[in-house]
Structure 1
Amino acid sequence: MSQYCTFSLDGHVFGVPVSSVQEVLRSQDLTTVPLAPTEIAGLLNLRGQIVTSLELRARLGLPPRDPDAPAVNVVVKTADGGAVSLVVDEIGDVLEPSRDAFEAPPDTVPVSIRGLVTRVCKLDGALMLLLDAARAVEVPVAS
């Protein structure tokens, strides 16, 4: 069985494998990056390591967060040994659903989200969308 770190975005519950999470940070001061894509929230200094902060709402095509609403940074490890911060609305629990609880994303999952979700898991009163963090952090560059 695998454990998943859960978080919410615009009423949706997402999960990423705990093994891919480096740490979770409450609201952080970000340095904006001029001319960066809207998905890039900015940069944060994580004990001397400069980490790109990705606005996951923008990446998933969800409406923007209220400017006064708190945010949480889920720092995930990248394949090259670095880290990227995913800006989310709220952190959830660590869950350990059985392997057979997962299935393919249904058609009711919005198209903008479905491309970055590998599987879904039915929870009590919610549907956890398993985010492909590696694909989510690949921000397309405008040409």
Structure 2
Amino acid sequence: MSLHDHDLRDTAGSPVGFDHSLDYVTVTVGEQLLGLPIARVHDVFITNRITVVPRAPSEIVGLLNLRGRIVTAICLRKRLGRPPMPGSADDKAEMVAVGVDHGGEAYALIVDAVGEVMRLDRSTLEPPPVHLDRAWAMLAAGVHRLSDRLLVVLDVDAILKLDMPAAA
């Protein structure tokens, strides 16, 4: 079913078949395919204008201005415990970001790449495997086994739950 099938409705006015599927915006960190629930994603954009925040947790890259709104930029690579991307030391480099909201605040998840919107059957969602890296398992809502790889579905609320340093 494509995204253009939104005209198909049941007697209650709900889209036919949509209650049996889950939609994700796919992103990659390293070679791993990750899924962000589409309902949580507000923007996908490229930025190179980030203001560093002193004494912020290492996962917070800084702040950026997105159409007049101050957005906290979080490096998903660091949040998942991955080493920095080669060549990412250049603070003028463009970064790919996915905009999400949490508790009335705007965040940008900095990722290696953004893929496509993927619709998967709800019945194929499984709990995170027991052998999944502990840091990843704490941030995963589940997985879908695709024909060629694993799609790790991220829990946006868990990703944005950062240990903030105590105020001085």
Check conservation: 1:70, 1:89, Cα contact below 8 A. Answer: no
* C-alpha distance in structure 2 between counterparts of 1:91 and 1:108, whole Å: 26
Which residue does the alignment assign to 1:51? Answer: 71
* C-alpha distance in structure 2 between counterparts of 1:105 and 1:2, whole Å: 16
**Unpaired segments ≥5 residues, structure 2:** 1-20
Q: Does 1:120 align with 2:146?
A: no
Which residue does the alignment assign to 1:30? Answer: 50
Q: Does 1:74 align with 2:94?
A: no
Which residue does the alignment assign to 1:111? Answer: 134
TM-score (norm 1): 0.92
* C-alpha distance in structure 1 between counterparts of 2:69 and 2:94, whole Å: 23
Are the structure 2 counterparts of residues 133 and 62 from structure 1 closer, same or farther at C-alpha, using a change threshold of 3 Å?
Answer: same
Which residue does the alignment assign to 1:40? Answer: 60
TM-score (norm 2): 0.79
* C-alpha distance in structure 2 between counterparts of 1:44 and 1:70, whole Å: 13
* C-alpha distance in structure 2 between counterparts of 1:19 and 1:26, whole Å: 20
User: Could you list the runs of 4 or more consecutive aligned residues of structure 1 that deviate by over 6 angstroms after TM superposition?
Assistant: none
**Unpaired segments ≥5 residues, structure 1:** none
* Bigger radius of gyration among the two: 2
Q: Does 1:137 align with 2:160?
A: yes
Which residue does the alignment assign to 2:31? Answer: 11
* C-alpha distance in structure 2 between counterparts of 1:86 and 1:50, whole Å: 14
Superposition deviation, residue 97 in structure 1: 0.4
